[in-house]
Chains A and B, each alone.
Chain A
Amino acid sequence: GESVGLHLPTLSVQEGDNSIINCAYSNSASDYFIWYKQESGKGPQFIIDIRSNMDKRQGQRVTVLLNKTVKHLSLQIAATQPGDSAVYFCAEKGAGGYNKLIFGAGTRLAVHP
């Protein structure tokens, strides 16, 4: 399928290296943040989330860091693999208690062997 990230910033890494993808958000009242991965021709896929009362959360090979002072999120991927190549979006949850998500612009991760 056609790529959804033709004009997105790209992070190129070597297989096995660690990747760090950054995201800035604008609403200081946001209390819940999520990272999604989107492969070409597919819908976004949930990776990991974090609430505003935390500054770090770890998953399998992924870590999300939240810095509320500067309204910044990062996604760290350890030992990056070719299958990690995709577009990564951060999102914040809007008001209302349901998943009205506000997505950022996205970053393309390209993993080279």
Chain B
Amino acid sequence: GAGVSQTPSNKVTEKGKYVELRCDPISGHTALYWYRQSLGQGPEFLIYFQGTGAADDSGLPNDRFFAVRPEGSVSTLKIQRTERGDSAVYLCASSQQGTNTGELFFGEGSRLTVL
């Protein structure tokens, strides 16, 4: 498809487990973002990649969260020792490099539930 693809769409895990969430951005988009959205709230910024490097990871809540984008395309958000408070929808978005607009193209999100 032409849009941002995220897998899995739903993930249920137990407290303390490790999870990986994958994002496949729009082809040619060099900028990639992860946001987290809790129920009833707006998305919150987690991390921004320009190419392969994390240019801004200031939104990652703690060191249990980590993200990679080794080849500058697909990105994986990794959460260690999950906690119930990590339950949320994790949104990935991409955009063209150098665009001077706020237009991000979001995927449908990965809903994480930690029991």
Contact = CB atoms under 8 A, between A and B. Distances in A.
Interface of A: 1-2, 4-8, 32-34, 41-46, 49, 89, 91, 93-94, 96, 98-106
Contacts of A89: 42-43
A68 B44 CA distance: 24
B107 interface: yes
A101 B101 CA distance: 11
Contacts, number: 80
Interface centre among A41, A44, A89, A103 (most CB of B within 10 A): A44
B71 interface: no
A98 B56 contact: yes
Interface centre among A43, A44, A45 (most CB of B within 10 A): A43
Contacts of B50: 98
B107 A91 contact: no
21 contacts: A2-B111, A4-B40, A6-B39, A6-B40, A8-B40, A41-B108, A43-B91, A43-B93, A43-B106, A43-B109, A44-B43, A44-B106, A45-B106, A46-B103, A89-B43, A98-B31, A100-B33, A100-B59, A103-B44, A105-B41, A105-B42
B93 to A, nearest CB: 7
A4 B56 contact: no
B107 A99 contact: no
**Chain A binding surface SS class:** loop
A101 to B, nearest CB: 6
**Chain B binding surface SS class:** strand
Given A43-B91, A44-B43, A101 B108 contact: no
Contact of A49 (B37, B42, B102): B102
A100 to B, nearest CB: 5
Given A4-B40, A4-B89, A6-B40, A46 B45 contact: no
B40 A46 contact: no
Contact of A93 (B31, B44, B102): B102
